[in-house]
Amino acid sequence: MKIYVYAICKNESKFAARFMKSVSDADGVFVMDTGSTDDSVKVLKKLGATVNTQVINPFRFDTARNLGLNYVPDDGDLYFCLDLDEVAETGWRKRLENAAEKAPEATRFMYRYVWSKNPDGSDGVVFWADKIHKKGYKWKGAVHEVLVPDYGINVQSAYAYGMQVTHYPDSAKSRSSYLPLLEIAARENPDDDRTSHYLGREYMFAGLYKEAISELMRHLSLKSATWNDERAASMRYISKCYARMGNKNEAISWALRAVAESPDTREPYLQLARAFYDTANYAGVMYAASTGLKITERKLSYITEPDAWGAPLHDLLSIAYYQFGQFKKASSEARIALSFGDDARIQSNLKMFDEAQR
């Protein structure tokens, strides 16, 4: 079996050695450099990668990936798309080959993808990614691009269990290009629910709350927007936008809708608890936080957020317990919150909760 790795790159020499080491089991590594001004090309070539360079203006991720894929030999059995800030964990090839052997009809393979790490080193956002494919696929979308099959390709996916890729994002890298690229993608595919959701979220990240609310509501109106968890995420983001605009009632209203849309995920309950907290509705905080904590199964989806599985729900619940005079329970929840990492405010709260019991 021939497995080729391909990637795009721009000014990422600091990741090159780690990346190349992680994919050393590939039958070839092919990198499309889109205009690096550092020594990325030199380092990658020295480490064994085949590098081609082409400046893409205006830049689009799908154009870059498709150009890169064009340079990969067409005798591959599988093509594995990665970025230089990602690491294919040890044993990836064996597990991928095992999956391919068990599912010879599969044309796409999914693997565990750790998108972020928590401060304590544990996994943050985790989901199934699917950037491994056979021949007959191309990339589509200016940003948050996806693989689409050529005409006649029978799309069948299989899981490469035990295979993992870990993302180590560059905190210094700007997201400034994402918003205009998403706006282009939305104009090109106005009925694509995924793009609309991402665009609304990006408006929120940029502090453009009115635009975010408008686009997220458009996402919810699309006929193809049927995935409950993603719909709930749009509702949560609308709630956050209203909260940041000072409209506390709408923040609660949309958080409640998110809970109703996806009652088996923690994330909506955390947003609801925060919205109730902003109005000093501690009974609401207690309900939302305690109900959220009853959900113990974390879905492998990009919709999940580390906060919902860390300290915040315990922290909020401890405050609610304190407000109702349940000091022992307040202390217990504060201690659990602190188990996720030291926090001076929670430490101060815990001291107050303990003293209230004396």
* Distance, CA of 184 to CA of 178 (rounded, Å): 10
Is residue 71 one of the residues assigned to a domain?
A: yes
Is residue 237 one of the residues assigned to a domain?
A: no
Average pLDDT over residues 191-215: 97
Average pLDDT over residues 143-163: 95
The tokens for 31 are 């990198």
Is residue 161 one of the residues assigned to a domain?
A: yes
Is residue 176 one of the residues assigned to a domain?
A: no
**In this structure, what are the phi and psi dihedrals at residue 235, rounded to the nearest 5 degrees?**
-65, -40
Is residue 348 one of the residues assigned to a domain?
A: no
14-23, 107-116, 149-158, 174-183: least confident range:
174-183
Q: What is the residue range of 100's domain?
A: 3-167
User: Given this model, what pLDDT does residue 71 score?
Assistant: 97
Nearest to 5 by CA among 106, 90, 93: 93
- Number of compact structural domains in the chain: 1
pLDDT digits (tens, 9 = 90+) for 92-135: 999 999 999 999 999 999 999 999 998 888 899 999 999 999 99
* Distance, CA of 17 to CA of 114 (rounded, Å): 20
CATH number at residue 102: 3.90.550.10
Is residue 308 one of the residues assigned to a domain?
A: no
In the predicted structure, residue 174 carries a pLDDT above the cut 80: no
pLDDT digits (tens, 9 = 90+) for 294-320: 999 999 888 999 999 999 999 999 999
Is residue 263 one of the residues assigned to a domain?
A: no
Is residue 327 one of the residues assigned to a domain?
A: no
